[in-house]
Structure 1
Amino acid sequence: MNGRVTIDLDAGAAAAPEVIAVMHAAFTEYARTGQPSGAMTETVESLRGEVAAGTRLALVRRDGVVVASAKHERTDDGALYFGRLAVIPEARGQGWAGALVRALREHAHASGLAGLTCLVRADEPGNIALYERLGMVVSGRGERASRTGAILAVVEMRDAPVH
């Protein structure tokens, strides 16, 4: 993670074009699996609508260039849900997802929330393992309808309980 790094956890609606660009670059790979991501149906306008409804946008910049993004919002059960965590393909393996998850967790705790939660496709063991390395555990399994209309098996992940 060389260079000047900034993490903005509330980049606002003005960041929607950058978030969409990162999201689409990162999630395009799912089209090759036969189960394209609903992220590809999101637009600048739809994202701005989510921000207006309370979703926050997070960005990681290296030397002014956005390398990672995520959406996040408080849940009714006192956690911070994050979704669409995306790292541009050429910046993967450099710790950006971990940096963003740690920043979101710190923000959650500073805000009095219990920790983080997210949903991950059940058929993405690499993503599940990443979040486990970052202190999360599988807390449930189920199915969700994608924005594409596909029904996907997912796992819910939460911060591991602290003993």
Structure 2
Amino acid sequence: MDFKYVEISDAAVIHDLMIRAFMEYMDAVPPSSALEETVQSISASLKEGEQGFIGYVDHRPVGMVRFLLNEKGLYFFRLSVIPEKQGQGIAKKILKSLEDYAINNGIHTLFCKVRMTVPKNIQLYSSIGFNIYEEEVVHKPNGISIKVVSMEKKLSFIE
């Protein structure tokens, strides 16, 4: 599997991968806000400093992740693997690329938020060393509340 650090010109690929992966949450209450994003909104976010990686198998994009750096560490979101490639360890490889990027840039913590209604994602992150450090209810503008957990992984540095 090969990884490419994203550029603004990759917004359409990012959008396609994300929409394909997040369609399974279309009937969730509420549906994932990922499904409301556009190529233009992703492009604008990349121009404002958002970063990401796209994973390729046989030169075809199969997954991606977006992230931001802040004082706490590397916050990632929208981890996406196209449905026909799910269950093949691609998400773990994408997360490993994030870890490598963080370590190479002196970042000590990866973190994310996960809907409590998606235990398979909580299990995925737990299986590779992430821990839940907070539970909260996110209140959406439409009046719907979503229970989420915040998860983090402390990275080890070899000095």
TM-score normalized by the length of structure 1: 0.89
Name the counterpart of 1:74. Answer: 69
Which runs of structure 1 show a deviation greater than 6 angstroms over 4 or more consecutive aligned residues? none
Q: What is the aligned-residue identity percentage?
A: 29
Alignment deviations for residues 59-116 of structure 1 (CA, whole Å, 9 cap, x no partner): 0011111110110111222x11110000000000111100010110111111111121
Name the counterpart of 1:117. Answer: 111
Contact 1:26–1:86 (8 Å) recurs in 2:
yes
The question of 1:152 aligning with 2:146 is answered yes
Name the counterpart of 1:40. Answer: 35
Counterpart amino acid of residue 43 in structure 2: R
List alignment gaps of at least 5 residues for structure 1.
Answer: none
CA RMSD of aligned residues (A): 1.7
List alignment gaps of at least 5 residues for structure 2.
Answer: none
Q: Secondary structure at the match of 2:26?
A: helix
Aligned residue-pair number: 156
Name the counterpart of 1:54. Answer: 49
Name the counterpart of 2:135. Answer: 141
TM-score normalized by the length of structure 2: 0.91
Contact 1:60–1:66 (8 Å) recurs in 2:
yes
Name the counterpart of 2:2. Answer: 6
1:147 Cα offset (Å): 8.1
Change (3 A) 1:29 1:58: same
* Aligned mates of 2:141, 2:53 — CA distance in 1: 21
Change (3 A) 1:149 1:108: farther
